[in-house]
């Protein structure tokens, strides 16, 4: 078998890359370890930046998102017994976010690829990369061989692509946090119109949503937390304790349909290229979800990679490919800082650290009272222009 671009991983990065390449007349094959049902059900991100929305619409896969997604023009920061709105329409006119589940994006992309005759292989468990430092790289899986011009490693943080690069060819930058997030999906009308990021001495809480009837929540929890430690009653009691802190706000409760614990990590591997292997999305970098940047960064990488590959296949020129990593890393590091900053601002760290707590509250007061500081948050949150 032969294709121009062999893509490992059918997450948002791999699927969008395959679709964008198809629109440029470039062939690809996507190899995915999990089943189609599994990747379409995996509940993860929910916030799409303006540029992500624009990218999906321009690529012709935004129809359902425009119909069912929820445009938001602000977020709320809740702390110290008060609510504070960050108004995007005033601070970053014309830019907003759209709340639309990552698995919906994945479903839309899979449908578009299959409709166009695209080749996605699911449940391929033994993908291996070969000769990536030559101009004839290839992939093997289940006794088959796929020859390619280029390989795109879109297989997430735990994939095989990044470990295929010799250790001494990568520099890794990393930070771990002393907590995790417990994510909850519940069949209940959201108790808020906009997302609420709540700082509380009991720990951070986030109230998000998926639709007018489905709410999404996150609770800061210790890193070793097991889902069994959190029966539904405990979850609702804790969400109430952390969110019902302002006058007139009551949290509606309902059936919990999903829970999961997510570790919090910041991670960047540089460069995002080795020979003919290009890493995109979580395969190259991870952010803590507080800034809602992971999926959006994956989309940004893939946009850059598509342009570079289109040039390469048009006239053999590798100049854009050679600059791919440098180009992406500028945005990656901005998002790294923003995600670390939002995380540091809103989570409870060492309860003995009274000084650190006062610093957090001081910065929150600054962000919610100074237009300059609020604009910094808003422009990063809705996403810097491409
Ligand atoms: P993915 O989505 O992890 O997809 C990688 C795919 O590769 C497959 N794979 C393999 N396939 C073949 N062979 C192998 N050896 C393979 N190993 C792995 C996997 O099965 C998978 O299908 O990476 P991608 O495409 O780079 O996309 C990245 C995003 O998924 C991720 O950044 C976001 O979900 C992060 N994230 C958020 N991002 C946002 O922009 N906004 C948010 O609001 C947001 N919230 C979140 C999040 C991530 C979360 N979790 C669970 C990590 C909230 C949470 C709770
Ligand atoms: C989500 O809705 O899943 C979500 C929203 C905002 C975040 C992270 C996750 O910062």
Mean pLDDT for 234-259 is 98
Q: Which of 194, 198, 205 is nearest to 235 (CA)?
A: 205
Q: In terms of domains, do 357 and 237 share one?
A: yes
Q: Is the CB of 118 under 6 A from ligand 1?
A: no
Which one of 12, 19, 72, 137 is the catalytic residue? Answer: 72
Name the domain count of the chain: 2
| pTM for this model (two decimals) | 0.97
Residues above pLDDT 70, as percent of the chain:
100
Rounded distance between C-alpha atoms, residue 47 and residue 51, angstroms:
12
Residue 293 among the catalytic residues: yes
* Residue 258 belongs to a domain: yes
d(CA 321, CA 286) in angstroms, rounded, equals 22
User: Is the pLDDT reported for residue 198 higher than 90?
Assistant: yes
Q: Which of 360, 287, 71, 43 is nearest to 195 (CA)?
A: 71
Within this chain, do residues 105 and 212 fall inside the same structural domain, yes or no?
no
One domain for residues 135 and 231: no
pLDDT in tens, 140-184: 999 999 999 999 999 999 999 999 999 999 999 999 999 999 999
Predicted confidence (pLDDT) at residue 254 exceeds the cutoff of 90: yes
Q: Note the pLDDT tens digit of each residue in 208-226.
A: 999 999 999 999 999 999 9
pLDDT digit string, tens, across residues 345-367: 999 998 888 999 999 999 999 99
User: Is the C-beta atom of 46 inside 6 A of ligand 2?
Assistant: yes
Q: Are 9 and 30 in contact (CB under 8 A)?
A: yes
Residue 239 sits in the same domain as residue 183: yes
pLDDT, tens digit, for every residue of 272-327?
999 999 999 999 999 999 999 999 999 999 999 999 999 999 999 999 999 999 99
Q: What is the pLDDT of residue 351?
A: 80
In a domain, 155, yes or no: yes
| Residue 345 Cα distances to 97, 196, 266, angstroms | 21, 14, 15
**Beta-sheet pairing, 74-79 with 82-87:** antiparallel
Peptide bond into 271 cis (omega under 30): yes
Tell whether 17 is covered by a domain: yes
Ligand 2 pocket check for 288: Cβ under 6 Å? no
Atom of ligand 2 nearest to the CA of 290: 10
Nearest in space to 16 (alpha carbons), one of 25, 7, 332: 7
Tell which atom from ligand 2 comes closest to the C-alpha of 99: 2
Kindly state whether residue 306 falls inside one of the protein's structural domains.
yes
Question: How much is the pLDDT for 325?
Answer: 98
CATH code: domain of residue 323: 3.50.50.60
- Residue 312 counted as domain residue: yes
Q: Quote the domain boundaries for residue 215.
A: 177-264+350-382
- Answer yes or no: do 242 and 199 share one domain: yes
Examine residue 58 and state whether it is found in any structural domain, yes or no.
Answer: yes
- What one-character DSSP code corresponds to residue 49? -
142 with 197, same domain: the answer is: no
Looking at the fold, whether 14 and 105 belong to one and the same domain comes out as yes
Q: Do 169 and 191 belong together in one domain? A: no
Annotation says 324 is catalytic: no
Query: Of the ranges 42-46, 110-114, 292-296, 370-374, which one carries the lowest mean pLDDT score?
Result: 42-46
- In this structure, are 115 and 190 located in the same domain? no
Percent of the chain with pLDDT over 90: 98
Q: Specify whether 54 is located in the same domain as 130.
A: yes
Does one domain contain both 233 and 185?
A: yes
User: Domain for residue 132, yes or no?
Assistant: yes
Q: What's 361's domain CATH number?
A: 3.30.9.10
Mean of per-residue pLDDT scores for the chain: 97
- Cβ-proximal residues to 89 (8 Å cutoff; 6+ apart), any chain: 73, 74, 96
Does residue 286's CB lie within 6 angstroms of at least one atom of ligand 1?
no
Q: Are residues 251 and 277 in the same domain?
A: no
Q: For residue 83, is it within any domain?
A: no
């Amino acid at each position: 078998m032969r294709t121009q671009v062999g893509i490992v991983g059918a997450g948002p990065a791999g699927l969008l890359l395959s679709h964008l390449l198809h629109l440029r007349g470039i062939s690809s094959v996507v190899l995915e370890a999990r089943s189609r049902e599994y990747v379409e059900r995996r509940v993860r991100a929910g916030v799409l930046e303006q540029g992500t929305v624009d990218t999906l619409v321009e690529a012709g896969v935004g129809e359902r998102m425009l119909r069912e997604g929820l445009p938001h023009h602000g977020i709320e920061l809740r702390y110290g017994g008060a609510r504070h709105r960050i108004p995007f329409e005033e601070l970053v006119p014309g830019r907003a976010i759209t709340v639309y589940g990552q698995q919906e994006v994945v479903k839309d992309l899979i449908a578009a690829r299959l409709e166009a005759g695209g080749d996605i292989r699911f449940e391929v468990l033994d993908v291996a990369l070969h000769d990536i430092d030559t101009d004839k790289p290839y992939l093997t899986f289940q006794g088959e061989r796929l020859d390619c011009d280029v390989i795109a490693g879109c297989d997430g943080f735990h994939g095989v692509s990044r470990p295929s690069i010799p250790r001494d060819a990568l520099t890794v930058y990393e930070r771990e946090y002393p907590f995790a997030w417990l994510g909850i999906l519940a069949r209940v009308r959201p108790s808020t119109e906009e997302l609420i990021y709540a700082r509380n001495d009991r720990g951070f809480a986030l109230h998000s949503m998926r639709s007018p009837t489905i709410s999404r929540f996150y609770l800061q929890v210790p890193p070793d937390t097991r889902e069994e430690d959190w029966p539904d009653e405990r979850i609702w009691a804790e969400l109430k304790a952390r969110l019902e802190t302002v006058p007139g706000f009551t949290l509606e409760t309902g059936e919990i349909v999903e829970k999961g614990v997510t570790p919090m990590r910041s991670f960047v591997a540089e460069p995002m290229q080795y020979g003919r292997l290009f890493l995109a999305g979580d395969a190259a970098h991870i952010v803590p979800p507080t800034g809602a940047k992971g999926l959006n960064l994956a989309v940004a990488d893939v946009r850059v990679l598509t342009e570079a590959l289109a040039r390469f296949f048009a006239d053999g020129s590798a100049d854009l490919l050679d600059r791919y990593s440098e180009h992406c890393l500028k945005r990656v590091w901005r998002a790294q800082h923003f995600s670390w900053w939002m995380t540091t601002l809103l989570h409870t760290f060492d309860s003995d650290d009274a000084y650190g707590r006062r610093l957090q509250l001081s910065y929150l007061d600054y962000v919610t009272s100074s237009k300059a500081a609020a604009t910094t948050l808003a422009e990063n949150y809705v996403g810097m222009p491409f």
